[in-house]
Structure 1
Amino acid sequence: MGVVTVSLGVAALVPDAQSNPTELIAASDAALYAAKERGRNQVQSGFVPQS
């Protein structure tokens, strides 16, 4: 039986009138790649600061 590993990138955003979903997606994508760089079975979080 094989081994399955998971690396996750998550981000949070407090929405307001100027919020852009692209910023949230970019932050979670960056967190995912940071988790992958750290190795297997990692979770990395990010936050999109308010403007």
Structure 2
Amino acid sequence: MSQRTCAACDCELDAEAIKVKLGGKTVEVCCEECAQALNEAEAAMTATANGKN
């Protein structure tokens, strides 16, 4: 069985993993803080791509 890790911090995931949708793909994170960090990073990238930076 392959080890699953958090998309934000590379910690090992357990049964409590949180699914987050980013750029049309679903990734898993270990905690709410990592989910928030990824959402903020995606928002910043989207704003930059749309010339709002």
TM-score for both structures, normalised by structure 2: 0.41
Q: Larger C-alpha radius of gyration, 1 or 2? A: 1
TM-score for both structures, normalised by structure 1: 0.42
Query: Larger RCO: Structure 1 or Structure 2 (Cα < 8 Å, ≥ 6 residues apart)?
Result: 1
